[in-house]
Structure formats: structure tokens, C-alpha cells
Amino acid sequence: MTILVVGDVVDDISVLPLEPVTPRTDTRAQIRMTPGGSAANTAAWLGFLGADVRFVGKAGADGAARHSMALADFGVDARIAADPVAPTATIVLTLDDDADRTMYVDRAANGTLTTDDVPESVWEGVTWLHVSGYTFFDPATLGVARNLLAEARHRNVPVSVDPGSVAFLREVGPEEFLRWTEGVDLVLPNAEEARLLAGSTGPFIDHDVLAEAYRHVVVTMGATGATYVADAAGGGRREQVVAPRVSVLDTTGAGDAFTAGFLAAWIGDRDPKTALAGGVGAASRCVEVRGARP
């Protein structure tokens, strides 16, 4: 059972100030460059957790082989096309005192992904498709994302989508995103993204609205844990798992790790409580270390 993951692959440059920031001059900091990208992170965690996973994405000529090898270290069948002109995507992340991050994004080669980079051969043996929300939000790759969903429907392959960015979701509008992802089997928003998709104006999330749009919905809520809800066909079943208390060093990639942990368990027996526990367990491991990968 092969999980196909398609989406972004990135060079993450994380900046952790070691003292109060002093504008217009020097501030001591710890700076690290590590492999990243929401979809690539999810693939790495899936491979680390023992799943059979294939990744498709695009990097610059300077990064395609490097990122392919980084994913292969986790057992991922990485098929990363090299763009001859655009550089590998880069994200600069600044970490605050709460280990949360602000991200400055240059999608670069991610924005040059085309349907030709996803040939028919990548579908061999695929039983699940996961697509990063960033592929939908970029007008240059929206067509690729929608073609992937159509191909998955044609092949009777279930699909999951992680919206990934509340800022980009707000920019395109939840109505558009809901239209683009109509028929998706599983969506995994965080709490902010879920509130936006459900049209919630207060602190509470209307899970019933989300369950009207998707068969299965999983909302991640950081240190609080995660919630699952099924649509009416699934009896409207709800489950919740509380996250364990851990020492949080860096939240980068926690949502990607959760997605991988959930999918690795969900695809086997479709038990939401077991899958939630798998997601929370992977996310908890992720936040205890610097970087977004295992």
C-alpha cells in the first residue's frame, strides 16, 4: 500500500535569537538550514514511521538530488524534478520565546511544478494520495493539484489534503478552497484554518459544518490535542485525543508530523482514535527537536 505525497520541498533556514533583538545592528542567534516543505516533511515522517511512501515535487538544479537523498534516508521513494532556472524554494523561520515561528516564503521551483512532473508511473501501486495545500494556493500549480484529485477519483484512490496556511487560505477565501477540494476524503486543518473553513466567528469550531463538506475531518489544536469528526454517512462519529505534556523546542513541522502519524495508522484500519493517537505521538516527537523532520 503506497502513499503518494505531492507538494512542496524547501530549504528551511531557522533563526533563533539568543538575546533580545536589536534592530538595525547585530543580534546573536542560532541559525540552521535543514530540509523542509510541508509535503516533503509529511513524506519523511511517513517513511520514518514505516509507511511505503512516494514523494513527487520540484526543486532547483542545485537541490533536486540533495533533497531526494535526504528523503531517501527515511525510506522515501523521492521523485523530485529539477528546474533548470528556478532555485530551490527557501523559507526563513524566526522562532519566538514560545518556540512558535513566523515564516518568510520564497516558493521558487515549487511554483514550476507541472503535470509532466507527475507521470503515470508515479501512480503504480498507490492506494492513497496526500496533497499539500500550498500546491492549491499557488495559481501556477493549482491546475496540477486539481488534476491530481481528478486522477485519484478516476483510479478510486482516496485523497487527503492539509490546508497548511491560514494566511493563504484567508487570501483565496474558504469558499474557493472548499470548491477546489470538493470530494476529498480527509482534510486536516489546524484550529485557525478550521474556524475559517467553517465560517466560525468565535473561539469555537463548528465541526458539523466541516463534516458537511468532507467525509472525514481532523482538526489539530496544538498542545490541546486533536479532534476527529465524520460526516452523516459515517454516523457523525467524534473522537478526541489530548496531547501529552512535552518540552517544546520548535513547532516547525508539527502539523506535518501529525498528518503523517495519522495517515500511517488511518490507512490500515480506519480507526479514528488510534489514528489520532498516532498523529499526536508524531507531532509530540517533532516539537522536541529543532527542524521539521524526524
Contact status, residue 9 vs residue 89, Cβ threshold 8 Å: yes
Q: How far apart are CA 165 and CA 126, in angstroms?
A: 26
Q: Pick the most confident of 149-158, 207-216, 222-231.
A: 149-158
User: Is residue 52 assigned to a domain?
Assistant: yes
User: Is residue 74 assigned to a domain?
Assistant: yes
Spatial strand order of the sheet with 89-95 comes to 29-36, 10-17, 89-95, 101-106
Total domains, the chain: 1
Q: What is the mean pLDDT of residues 253-279?
A: 96
**pLDDT the model gives residue 162:** 97
- pLDDT of 97 > 80? The answer is no
Tens digits of per-residue pLDDT, 168-204? 999 999 999 999 999 999 999 999 999 999 998 877 8
User: Is residue 223 assigned to a domain?
Assistant: yes
User: Is residue 260 assigned to a domain?
Assistant: yes
Domain enclosing residue 91, as ranges: 2-287
- pLDDT of 107 > 80? The answer is yes
User: Is residue 101 assigned to a domain?
Assistant: yes
- pLDDT of 228 > 90? The answer is yes
Please calculate the CA angle 140-142-147 and round it to the nearest 5 degrees: 125
User: Is residue 293 assigned to a domain?
Assistant: no
Tens digits of per-residue pLDDT, 15-71? 988 999 899 999 999 999 999 999 999 999 999 999 999 999 999 999 999 999 999
Cell 487527503, located at residue? 160
- pLDDT of 226 > 90? The answer is yes
CATH assignment of the domain containing 117? 3.40.1190.20
Tens digits of per-residue pLDDT, 229-253? 998 888 889 999 999 989 888 888 9
Q: How far apart are CA 175 and CA 211, in angstroms?
A: 15
pLDDT class of 99 with cuts at 50, 70, 90: low
User: Is residue 263 assigned to a domain?
Assistant: yes
User: Is residue 278 assigned to a domain?
Assistant: yes
Dihedral (Cα; 136, 66, 100, 27), 10-degree rounding: -130
